[in-house]
Amino acid sequence: MDCRHLEDVYELFLLGALPDEGSLELREHLAQGCEHCLERVKEAARTVYLLSLTAKPVTPGPKAKADLLRLLLKR
């Protein structure tokens, strides 16, 4: 399958910004194991990671961690 038309949409796909049909086509293509696209989607994930970290870090309140640990110990 010629996947050149998918080249520029991996980032939008991971951001959830593609319309349904574009997203479906990409998922089906990835499931077929196209090595080039699997490499590109990993690269796109790196870009989404990078963009997400442009937000300034915020320290969560101490109760947030305590609540999480309490829930984990309950399980």
Interacting residues toward other proteins by CB under 8 A: 8-9, 11-12, 14-20, 23-24, 27, 30, 36, 38, 41-61, 64-65, 67-69, 71-73, 75
Encode 33-55: b = buried (16+ Cβ within 10 Å), e = exposed. eeeebeebbeebeeeeeeeeeee
**Cβ of residue 25: shortest distance to other proteins, in angstroms?**
13
**Cβ of residue 27: shortest distance to other proteins, in angstroms?**
6
**Cβ of residue 61: shortest distance to other proteins, in angstroms?**
7
> What whole-number distance in Å separates Cα of residue 27 and Cα of residue 32?
9
